[in-house]
Chains A and B, each alone.
Chain A
Amino acid sequence: MSSAPALSRREFARWIWRQLTSMRTALLLLLLLALVAIPGSLVPQLSVDARAVEAYRMAHPGLAPWFDRLGVFHTYTSVWFSAVYLLLMTSLVGCFVPRSLDYVRALRARPPKAPKNFDRLAAFDRFDVDGDAPVDVMAIIERAQRELGRARVDVVERDGVVELSAESGQLREFGNLLFHVAVVGVLIGVAVGALFGYRGSAIVTEGDDFSNVLTQYDDFASGALFAPESLPPFALHLDAVDARFQLTGPQRGAPRYFAARGTWSTGTSGGHEKPFKIRVNHPLKVGRTSVFLIGQGYAPVFKVTDAHGTVVFEDAVPFLPADGTYTSSGVVKVPDARPQGLGFQGFFLPTAISTGKHEAPVSAFPAAANPFVGLFVFRGDLGMNGGRPQSVFVLDKSRMKQIKLGDGTPFRVSLTPRQIADLPGGDEIQFVGLRQYARLQISSTPLAAVPLGAIWLGVLGLVISLSVRPRRTWVRAKRSSADGRSRTVVEIAALDRVRSGSGLTDHVRRLARAIKGEEDE
C-alpha cells in the first residue's frame, strides 16, 4: 500500500481529463502526431501502392515481418497513429467546449472594472485638460468613447469620478475557437467521405467496354458503409488512347499529352451514347462519380495456335510499364493449349533498338515506333482451375517447366508485329498487332465539400485569431481642486492580453490626443 492518499476513481478520472485537455498535452500530442506520420512517408503504403509494398517485402525480408506486425505498411490506419489522433481530438474537444462557454459568458459580461493604480499597467498616461474653462468630465468620457470606436464600453460614475472600461478584440478568441471547431469538422468530413466512398481502377484496352459493376474492377477499395449496389450504373466504350511525347530536345521522351476517347451511356447496357474525352486533370463526371485517366500503356495482341492447329488464344494482353521509355513486362496465359497449358513471360519495348549482337534490345522512346516483344516460354499447369483468384500480371510457375534449348539456355521468342514464332512441340505464337490501354480510376468521395468548407472556415478563424489584438482600456476622469485650483485630471491605461510591441503606447497616445481635443499629427 502506498502511503500517499489514494485518489478515488472519480478524482483520478478528473485528473486524467485535466491532464489530457491541458495546453501542454495538446502540444505534445500535436508533435507526436507529426512524428508518427513519418514512417508512412518513408515506407511504401498498401493503400497507395500495394506493388511497392510487395517489392519492399522482397528487398527487406528481415524487417518486413516486423513492419507487418506493427502496421507500418498501413501507417495511417494503424493502432498507434489512430491512438494519437483520437487522443488529440479528445484533447481538442475537451479544450474548446469549456472555452466556448467561457467565451459566450465573457461576451455578455461587462468589461472588467478599472484597477486602482493605473501606473502599474503596461501603458499609462495622466494629464490635466483644463485650459481657460473647466471641461466637463462626461464630455471627456464621450470623446474617449468616440475614439475607442467598436470596443464594448462600460461607464461608471461614483462620487464625481467617472470611469470608463473598454474591451476590444474579443473576435480573437472567436477566431481561435472557429479554427479548432473547423479542424474537428475537417476530420468528420474526411471520415464520412471515407466511410461511404469508394475507389477502384480498371485497365481498359482500345476497342473494349467497361461497365461499372464490381466484377469489372482490377482493384477496388471502399469504406465500411459503402454498399456495392450503390455503384451508379454506367458503361463506356474506349475508342482510342492518345499519348504524345516530346520528340526533340533534352527532354526527349517526356510525356506531353494523354487522353482516352470513347463513348459512354448511363445504365449498364444500351441507353443514349455520349462521347467522352478524359485527360489528366479533366475526369469524366457521372453524377458524383468521376472517371480519371491515371495511366496508360501497351497491350500487344497475341494469337496462339497449338500443335493440333486449334487457335487457343487470341487477345490483347496489357503489359505494365516499368520506366519512362515504357519498357513493360507482362505474361500471356494460355491454359487451353493441348496437350499442356502454355505460359509466356517477358517484356515489351515500344521503340526497340539493338545495343549489340548478343545483347537484349532496349527501349529508346516511349511511343511505339518499333514495337518488339521478347518472351520466355513455360509449359504445364497454370493453376487457373483451382478457383483461386490470380493476378493477370503474374505467372504461377510452381507446376510449370521452362522450355530450354539443347545447351540448357532458356528458349526465347522475339517478335515484331505480324511475326510468327514456332515453339518446340509444334505450337506457334503470333504478335498480331498492338493496341493501347487506359488505366481508369473510378472513384467517389461523398461530401468532399464538407472538409473543404471546414478548412476554409479554419483559415478564416486562423487569420482572425492571428491578427486581432485583444485589448483593455480604462479612462478615469475626475475634478480635483488641489493647490487651490480646480482641474480636470484624466488617467488612461491600457493592457494587451497577448504580447505586443509598441502598438499599445501608440494607442494610449492617440487616445490622450483625442481627449485633449488635439488634431492627429
Chain B
Amino acid sequence: MTAESLAQASNYLIAAATVILALAFVAHVAEWALSKRVAGDSDRATSSEIAAGIGRSVTTLAWGILLASVVSRGLAAHRVPWGNMYEFGCAGVLLLLTAYLVLVRRWGSTIDWAGAAVTGFGTTVLGASMLVYVPAGPLVPALHSYWLVIHVFAAMLAGSGFTLGAILSIAHLLKMRNEDSLVRLPSTARLDELAFRVNAFAFPIWTFAALIAGPIWAQHAWGRYWGWDPKEVWAFITWVVYAGYLHARATAGWKGRAAAILCLLGFATFLFNFIGVNLFVGGLHSYAK
C-alpha cells in the first residue's frame, strides 16, 4: 500500500472506531438504565448483564479498529503516530481503552461498571480530535528526535492513567453522597483504593515524562532543560496537584472527599494543558496543527 492509501485507510478506520465506540457507550448506558430500575428483579438484572456484555465486546472491537488506524497512520507518515494534537488524541484513547480492557480482565466487577464513562470519554476525545485533524505527513525539525517516542508516549500513558483515576474519583464522590445508592459501584473505600492505585501507577510515569524525558529533550533541542514554556508550566502544575493528592491521602482531614477532589483538579490541569495550552496559549510546544 502506498502512503496515501494508508493515510486514507487510517482516516476511515478512525471514523469507524468513533462510531463503534459510540455504540459501545450506548450499550453501557443501557446496562445502567436496565440495572437501575429494579435491583431484585432477576430478569432485569439479566438484560442489564447482556447489555454490559455487548458493551464490552463492542468496546473490544472499537479498540481493534482504533489500533489498526493508529498503526496505519504511523506507517503512512513513517514515524510514531503521536506527533501532533490529532494523533495524540487518537493514540491516547487507544491507550485508555487498552488500560481499561486490561483492568476489566484483572479486576473484573470492581472496574467493569466504568464502561460507560470510558467509552463516553473516548468517543468525545476521538470526535474532538477530528476538529484538529492534520493530514498524515512528516514533522517539523524540532520533533525529529527519538525523544518524541519516549517523552510523548510516557505522557499519553500517564494521561490514560489519570483519566481512569478521575473516573474512579467521580464514582467515589457520587457514592459518598449515599453509600447504599449505585449498587453496581464498589464501596467508597474500595473506590478510593482503586483510584489511588491507578494514580500511583500514573504519577511516577508522569514524573518521568514531564520532569525527566522532557527536560533531557529540551536540553538537546532548545539548550535549556527547563524554560517555563506554558506546556512545561502546566505539566509542573499537574505534577504538583497530583503530588498534593498523594499527600492528601496521608493527611488527617484531607482523606476521602478532599483527596478525590484534588484528583479531579489534577486531571483538569492535565486536560487544560492538552486542550487550552495547545489551542489558546501557544509557546514552544505548539504542535496542535
Contacts and interface: CB of A to CB of B under 8 A. Distances in A.
A389 interface: no
A249 B137 contact: yes
B141 A48 contact: no
Interface string B206-226: 011001100111011111111
A283 B145 CA distance: 13
Given A42-B281, A199-B223, A250-B137, A27 B212 contact: no
A403 interface: no
A41 B216 contact: no
B53 interface: no
A400 interface: no
Interface string A369-406: 00000000000000000000000000000000000000
A184 to B, nearest CB: 14
A221 B14 CA distance: 48
B253 A41 contact: no
Interface stretch (B36-44, B162-170, B229-237): B229-237
Interface stretch (A133-141, A254-262, A416-424): A254-262
Interface stretch (A29-37, A355-363, A477-485): A29-37
Contacts of B252: 23-24
A281 B219 CA distance: 9
A410 B128 CA distance: 48
Nearest to A460: B204
B131 interface: no
Interface residues of A, number: 55
B26 interface: no
A37 B247 contact: no
A23 B134 contact: no
B221 A281 contact: yes
B224 A443 contact: yes
A254 B140 contact: yes
Contact of B269 (A34, A451, A452): A34
A448 B225 contact: yes
A253 to B, nearest CB: 11
A451 B227 contact: no
Interface residues of B, number: 57
A294 B222 contact: yes
B240 to A, nearest CB: 4
A306 B119 CA distance: 73
B2 to A, nearest CB: 13
A67 interface: no
B236 A27 contact: no
B144 interface: yes
Nearest to A458: B207
Interface in B151-206: 189-190, 192-193, 200, 203-204
B142 interface: yes
A23 B138 CA distance: 49
B213 to A, nearest CB: 11
A280 B207 contact: no
A445 B137 contact: no
Given A34-B237, A445-B224, A27 B254 contact: yes
B244 interface: yes
A502 to B, nearest CB: 9
Contacts of A190: 226
Contacts of B216: 452
Interface string B245-281: 0111111111000000010000001000000010001
Given A41-B234, A462-B204, A501-B190, A27 B223 contact: no
Contact of B215 (A24, A75, A452, A458): A452
A27 B247 contact: yes
Interface of A is mostly: mixed
A458 B251 CA distance: 21
B142 A280 contact: yes
Contacts of B277: 41
Given A30-B247, A251-B137, A24 B224 contact: no
B207 A27 contact: no
B11 to A, nearest CB: 12
A443 B227 contact: no
Contact of A249 (B135, B142, B208, B226): B135
A76 B277 CA distance: 18
A456 B212 contact: yes
A142 to B, nearest CB: 34
A251 B3 CA distance: 15
A445 B225 contact: yes
Given A23-B251, A24-B253, A37-B236, A30 B135 contact: no
Contact of B141 (A26, A45, A281, A448): A281
Nearest to A47: B228
A27 B248 contact: yes
B272 to A, nearest CB: 10
Interface string B83-97: 000000000000000
A501 B193 contact: yes
B237 A23 contact: no
A463 B204 contact: yes
Contacts of B217: 281
A159 B151 CA distance: 63
A48 B144 contact: no
B142 A281 contact: yes
A165 B285 CA distance: 55
A257 B240 contact: no
B241 interface: yes
A293 B196 CA distance: 43
Contacts of B138: 246, 251, 254, 256
B251 A256 contact: no
Given A41-B234, A281-B145, A462 B224 contact: no
B212 A279 contact: no
Given A199-B223, A250-B134, A445-B225, 13 more contacts: A23-B247, A24-B252, A34-B244, A41-B277, A48-B227, A48-B229, A76-B228, A249-B135, A255-B140, A281-B142, A290-B223, A451-B215, A463-B204
5 contacts: A34-B236, A34-B237, A40-B233, A256-B140, A445-B219
Interface of A: 23-24, 26-27, 30-31, 33-34, 37-38, 40-42, 45, 47-48, 75-76, 190, 199, 246, 249-251, 254-258, 279-283, 290, 292, 294, 441, 443, 445, 448, 451-452, 455-456, 458-459, 462-463, 466-467, 498-501
Interface of B: 134-135, 137-138, 140-142, 144-145, 189-190, 192-193, 200, 203-204, 207-208, 211-212, 215-217, 219-230, 233-234, 236-237, 240-241, 243-244, 246-254, 262, 269, 277, 281, 283
Which 6 A/B pairs are nearest by Cβ-Cβ distance? A41-B233, A280-B141, A466-B200, A41-B230, A34-B240, A292-B223
